Structure 1
Amino acid sequence: MSGRGRRAARPPTPHRRPPVLVGGLVVDHRDHRGRVACYDFAQLPVAEGLQRSLARVFAARCSSNGWASHRTSEGYWLPVRSFASWLAGLPAPPTEVAQITAAIWDAWRISRPATVGGQQQVTRVAALLLNDEHLSRSAAEVMARRMVRPRRVEESYQAGDFDQIKVAARRMFRSAVLRIEDNAAHLERWRGGAFEEGSREWLVGEALECLARTADVPSYPRAHNGTRRVRYRYLRALGGESGACTWQRLFLSRDEAVALGVLLMAEFGWNLSVIDTLAVPRATPDADPDEPTYRLELVKRRRGSGRHHETRNVTDHGAGSGGRLITQSLRATRFARAIVEDLAPGTDRLLVWRTTMPHQGQDNGVGPLLRMGISGQTLTGWGRVNGAGGSPFRRGRRTVQVVRGEPLQNTQDTHDRVYVLSDPQTQRATVPLLADGAESALRHAQQAVLVAQLRDQADPGDVPTATADCTDPDHGPFPAPGGGCGASFLMCLGCTNAHIHPGHHSRLAHLHHALGNLRSAMSPRLWQSDWADAHTRLEDLRERLGPATWAQALSRVTDVDRALVGGLLTGALDA
């Protein structure tokens, strides 16, 4: 109702959502922006009955509460098309879903490569067919089995290789920014009447004015093939009709758009889907004109309902800052974005570039000359030319995560488990660390061996203790707060001030025997913490003295030795 209590007027005709399934064989998928992708199941090389069944389960996923992105629907359409082609090659292809048996499905599953892509083909087709009520129970049970996820062998770039990729992207994008800025300045001077009419500079300015409005310089179609030719009046002034001489004066090329995407990935650690759909950043109203702060609106579809959107602020602090990259990207794409806004108001995308030929690709709603986002074979081709070996985004984002050592777009657990611990380069880098740890453990273990010096006879100047003789009790490695030695008598075996002579052998041999008996009567954890070091040092002493001397020492154990060892074990003799 309105504020005065009257009901709002109804529309003249009731609104109904356009049908998804058209004619039983064509599926029109509308994404969250209202754009339509058409999938014709009549093209599949299978019987019409199977075509209709596949179209029906596919259309169910393209409904209002189903897939929201064309990328998702295309990701299912391609496996369906492969499955249909594989069925067509069978000796007796099934003509309907009910004829797809468990044996046929197992054969299809085995025929797929043992890769992540091969597994996706199987799981995505199964996800569609399981929604068909005509599928046999045995086939459904086989399709519902969980598949072992193949291990993705993906390694971060070496530091030098990743630096070369960033340098190549920076060089390419910076060249584009300088070119566009130079021509934009020429266009502004032309609009201000700075050039004499008819001069070369004036003709270039007029061509740039047309380019800024239409994404093309003044041209006409060739009669024999429909391609366009630059009008002769501007041809000489522009220096030719190649892209570098014409439309690249104000627009990014495909490779330059990829270079910008690589720089955004390297700077912010975003994945490709975020960069591909990145909205135009806006400077905050109170931002300093010299150091603007941009508000970045990120869309992350994989996070689940209610957590798709995230905002961040980044400031242009000068050359080398993330904000400066945003400033340059806005400057480099401003002419393309202006045309997109005229053709499709409300289209809020940062990465807009111009294609080479008007007839390449499909019209994506912003005219035949402009494209939005980056994906597909474009990335692979750019990566191969610039030393990345393929698309640089997955490995590059992993490299950024590993190098910075902190989660950028994930939880700490996902960062450690998916990016750091599973990275082969990280695993190789940990080998020296593990070796250092092992050496440290060895040094620690060596600290628990006998340190006291062995003597043939007692030194008259030493002070007797329960386990050895001490040369300087007041200046030992374990001083007490009030002076003297604060260590237990058992620690005399690990002290450099201690001397052991034959008069101690029987007592120490009996202590070794008693600790062995105590080990069987205590929990392993307590024995390890309280007696393990002393037992290890006595083991070392036994090895040094030899079996014969040790046996003689055990045979000479006296009541005094037993009393001293009992006091040590009960703590009565602790200093």
Structure 2
Amino acid sequence: MRCFDHDGATVQDFDFSRMPVALDLQKGLAMTFAKRTAPGGAVTRMEGFRYSFRAVRLFADYLSGLAAPPTTMAELVDDHIDGFRDHRRATTTSAHREVSELKVVLRNSNELTAMMVAKVCQITLRKSNASKKASYSRDEFTQIARVARSDLRAAATRIRKNRELLRQYRAGKMAGRDRRLELLEFVEEHTDVPRYTRPAHKGTYAPKTWVRDSGFGSVAEVVGWLHLTCTELAAAAILMGIMTGQNRSVILNLTTAHHRTDGHVDGRKSIAILDTYKPRRGARAYMNLALAEIPDWITLPSTSSSPTARDELHTPFGLYALLLDLTSHSRQITDTDRLLVGYHANGTTRGIRALASNEPFRMWSARHKIQPDASAANARGYLSVTLDLIRLTYVSLHQKPVAHTETTLVKDYLSRDRGNLGQYRQVVAAALAEEVDKARSRSVMETLSRDEIAQSDACALAAKHGIEPTVVKRMLAGELDTVMNSCIDNDNSPFGAPGQPCRASFMKCLECPCARALPHHLPVQALVFERLQARKADMTPLAWAQRFARAHTQLADLLSRHDAAAVAQARADATPQQHAMVDRFINREMDIR
């Protein structure tokens, strides 16, 4: 079966005839795979095609080892799925994802029994500790960035130097015969070294003797005179992830097509806008990525006040501009607009191609052997650097979502990160304590009880609370209501200029001397308190502490003036209009922008 990437740039054949199962089962699995990968479906990238095929192939391998393997799709039963799950859990940590993908593929079959259809539609539960990941520490993150920048600076120096040598050689400015310059020109024209025309071992064509014995290095090193190597491409991808926090697929599929919002004007901060595509986002699959000439301060050396020209690799735009230059000849050879293109000595084909597999990242990690913190020592003895952990570390350190929602950030990233948990808890606790102290240091708004309002003497009530009688009448009539209270002096707010209408958020009313809480405000106050409490599940703990902890504490103190039964009854009596108003308020739709 032949599959094309969504942009038509990549094509691959997937052979189901080699799966060790009966012919009818091969055909059934092939049909489900065809529907899963059909145009208009959720899977549109070659990486997704390969993963779906891998899940099906692993399932077929498992079935072939059974005492009585099924021969058709109709013979598949629940135990086959459960057995495959247990088999993969014993050998890999990605069993949950493999089984989930297999179920999604099998859902496309119309030959399954009703029991099997129900099985493949069930959600695959994770083991409680199987999905925990440890992000890099801040020191490890900085060290990874430093090594990646060092690799790219060395590559830039090498390639630019050799380009200049080649230019001078072709211009006739280099006297005498120089085999190195001859080899450099050959590499520029053929992206390879001179080889014998007769095949040697296993059908390969060996480099000529003078190339092999010249001391110029391996073929990859020689071709690397003018091209980035696969490990240098990995370094570039790692550094792009460190400075943007983008997903692995987005980084690997970056292209050279971009728009310069600065108009190439000197003195202005350079910004390149790129189009990115991530099919898993659904309707938001196409998004823009802004690469700005703004330093990544987390990994910037503490001894430097600002990056110099040598340190252009401290900005996403600087990295992008450098890669545009260093990969220009590689892109010309392969006729592609992919950004991360360079020489690969291994893999399916030797030569210039785009970065796609995980092997260059494993090679880069093994080459540099970056030492982990003492508490993070692993079996290898060095850090295994992956784009997934780079992204997890980025969102953990920056505490902000990147091309996903804040809910996804909390549930799918921070809740599974065990790398900086202790340090993060200390930061959250400090922020929470600071906001609570601020709330307690400010007076909570004054309240008027039902008994006070019930008295007939409005003048006495006004005198008791220091309010004009006319204002009291308007307040009791509801004419001065905001969201959670009444405002007795909108033109003299402590949060604005005297004589000017208050423009502060209604949340500020909780600590404003102009605010008065009446009994009919209790339902809204209870709803706001409930909504703030619920927001904890959809925000990072630090963001919640900084944004809502003070108001939450002030509301708790305000509600504590009523007994629990009264608060519960008020919440139950809230009208649909009050619920809608509170939703708008919490979503900041009432703020003046």
Which TM-score applies when normalising by structure 2?
Answer: 0.63
Would you say 1:126 and 2:100 are equivalent positions?
Answer: no
Alignment partners' CA distance in 2, 1:423 and 1:383: 21
TM-superposed CA distance for 1:269, in Å, is: 1.5
Identity over aligned pairs, percent: 26
> How many angstroms does 1:209 deviate by?
2.4
Q: Which residue number corresponds to residue 354 of structure 1?
A: 343
Displacement after TM superposition at 1:525 (Å):
7.7
Letter in 1 for 2:190: T
Residue in 2 that maps onto 1:18: none
1:408-441 residue CA offsets vs partner (Å, 9 max, x unmatched)? 3333333344334543244312443576589889
2:49: which partner in 1?
Answer: 73
Deviates more, 1:385-394 or 1:187-196: 385-394
For the pair 1:164 / 2:140, whether they are aligned, the reply is: no
Task: Return the alpha-carbon distance in structure 1 between the equivalents of residues 321 and 400 of structure 2.
Answer: 26
- Deviation sequence 1:32-72 (CA, Å, 0-9, x none): 23332111111111111111111122122233223322111
Paired letter, 1:190? Y
Amino acid in the other structure paired with 1:361: G
Q: Which residue of 39, 47, 68 corresponds with 1:92?
A: 68
| 1:408 correspondence with 2:402 | yes
Q: Retained in 1: the 8 A contact 2:159–2:225?
A: yes
Q: Deviations over 1:501-522 (max 9, x none)?
A: xxxxxxxxxxxxxxxxxxxxxx
Given the alignment of the two structures, is residue 142 of structure 1 paired with residue 119 of structure 2, yes or no? yes
SS of 1:42's partner is: coil
Distance 1:380 1:160 in 2: 20
Which 5+ residue runs of structure 2 have no aligned equivalent?
295-307, 371-381, 442-465, 467-525, 527-555, 564-593
Q: Secondary structure at the match of 2:110?
A: coil
CA distance in 2 between partners of 1:88 and 1:527 (Å): 65
> Helix, strand or coil for the counterpart of 1:329?
helix
Deviates more, 1:83-92 or 1:32-41: 32-41
Q: 1:128 to 1:138 in 2, by over 3 A?
A: same
Q: For 2:341, give the aligned amino acid.
A: V
Structure 2 vs 1, CA of residues 289 and 348 (structure 1 numbering), >3 Å: closer, same or farther?
farther
The secondary structure found in structure 2 opposite 1:41 is: coil
Residue identity in the other structure for 2:318: R
Task: Find out whether 1:304 has 2:278 as its counterpart.
Answer: no
Q: Which residue of 2 aligns with 1:376?
A: 358
Question: 1:302·1:308 contact (CA, 8 Å) conserved in 2?
Answer: no
Deviates more, 1:158-167 or 1:421-430: 421-430
Q: Tell me the distance in 2 between the aligned counterparts of 1:277 and 1:417.
A: 26
Counterpart for residue 397 of structure 1 = 391
For residues 61-84 of structure 1, the C-alpha deviation after alignment (integer angstroms, 9 at most, x for no partner) is: 233223322111111111111111
Q: Quote the residue 2:29 is aligned against.
A: 54
Given the superposition, is the C-alpha separation of residues 188 and 131 from structure 1 closer, same or farther in structure 2, using an over 3 Å criterion?
A: same
Superposed displacement of residue 361, structure 1: 2.7
Q: CA deviation at 1:351?
A: 0.6
- Does 1:117 find its partner at 2:94? yes
**The residue matched to 1:424 in structure 2 has which SS?**
coil
CA–CA distance in structure 2, aligned partners of residues 194 and 94 of structure 1 = 73
Alpha-carbon distance change, 186 to 229 in structure 1, aligned in 2, over 3 angstroms: farther
Match of 2:476?
Answer: none
Distance across 1 between alignment mates of 2:435 and 2:210: 81
Aligned-pair Cα RMSD in Å = 3.5
Change (3 A) 1:525 1:304: same
- Report the 3-state secondary structure (helix = DSSP H, G, I; strand = E; otherwise coil) of the residue aligned with 1:40: coil
Alpha-carbon distance in structure 2 between the residues aligned to 1:241 and 1:222: 22
What does 1:101-250 correspond to in 2, within 5 Å?
Answer: 101-113=77-89, 117-151=94-128, 152-196=131-175, 198-200=176-178, 203-221=179-197, 223-225=199-201, 226-231=203-208, 239-243=215-219, 246-250=222-226
Please tell me whether the aligned partners of residues 257 and 374 of structure 1 are also in contact (alpha carbons under 8 angstroms).
no
SS across alignment from 2:152 = helix
User: Whole-Å Cα distance in 2 between the matches of residues 275 and 163 of structure 1?
Assistant: 19
SS at match of 1:195: coil
- Corresponding residue for 1:454? none
- With over 3 angstroms needed to count, the CA separation of the structure-2 counterparts of 1:281 and 1:289, relative to structure 1, is farther
1:28 is matched with 2
Does the 8 A contact of 2:187 with 2:193 survive in 1?
Answer: yes
Deviation digits for residues 286-306 of structure 1 (CA, Å, limit 9, x no counterpart): 414797653433222222145
Mapped contact 1:45–1:84 kept (Cα < 8 A): yes
Q: Which amino acid aligns with 1:254?
A: C
Deviation at 1:96, TM superposition (A): 0.8
Q: Is the 8 A contact 1:297 1:312 kept in 2?
A: no
CA contact (8 A) 2:220 2:344 kept: no
Corresponding residue for residue 450 of structure 1: none
* Contact 2:193/2:219, CA 8 A, preserved across alignment: no
Structure-2 change in CA distance of 1:431 and 1:243 (3 Å): same
Question: In the aligned structure 2, how far is the partner of 1:310 from the partner of 1:289?
Answer: 24
Task: Tell me if the contact between 2:20 and 2:64 (Cα under 8 Å) persists in the aligned partners.
Answer: yes
Residue 98 of structure 1, CA deviation? 1.3
More displaced, 410-419 or 136-145? Answer: 410-419
Change (3 A) 1:235 1:407: same
Residues 92/264 of structure 1: CA separation in 2 closer, same or farther (3 Å cut): same
Alignment of 1:327-366 (within 5 A): 327-341=321-335, 347-356=336-345, 360-363=346-349
Is the Cα contact below 8 Å between 1:353 and 1:372 reproduced in 2?
Answer: yes
Change beyond 3 A, Cα 1:220–1:137 = same
Q: Using CA pairs under 8 Å that are at least 6 residues apart, name the structure with larger relative contact order, 1 or 2.
A: 2
Q: What SS does the corresponding residue of 2:155 show, helix, strand or coil? A: helix
Provide the secondary structure at the position in 2 that maps to 1:32.
coil
Is the partner of 1:124 in helix, strand or coil?
helix
Q: Does 255-264 or 322-331 show the bigger shift?
A: 322-331
Residue type matched to 2:2 in 1? Answer: D
Distance in 1 (alpha carbons) for counterparts of 2:232 and 2:226: 12
Residues 184 and 288 of structure 1: CA distance in aligned 2, closer, same or farther (over 3 Å): farther
CA distance in 1, matches of 2:195, 2:227: 17
Map 1:443-458; keep pairs closer than 5 Å: none
Output the CA distance in 1 between the equivalents of 2:440 and 2:344.
69
CA drift at 1:268? 1.6
Q: Secondary structure at the match of 2:157?
A: helix
Q: Determine the C-alpha separation between the residues in 2 that align with 1:433 and 1:241.
A: 51
**Is the partner of 1:63 in helix, strand or coil?**
coil
Q: Of 249, 258, 271, which residue of structure 2 is paired with 1:273?
A: 249
Aligned positions of 1:424-443 closer than 5 A: 424-433=418-427
> TM-score, normalised on structure 1?
0.64
**Paired residue secondary structure (1:43):** coil
**Distance in 1 between the 2:34 and 2:433 partners?**
63
**Counterpart-to-counterpart distance in 1, 2:121 and 2:385:** 33
CA distance in structure 1 between the partners assigned to 2:20 and 2:45 by the alignment: 26
The residue type equivalent to 2:177 in the other structure is S
Shift of 1:141: 2.0
Structure 2: how far apart are the matches of 1:95 and 1:215? 49
What one-letter code is carried by the residue in structure 1 that aligns with 2:106? Answer: L
**Alpha-carbon offset, residue 145 of structure 1:** 2.1
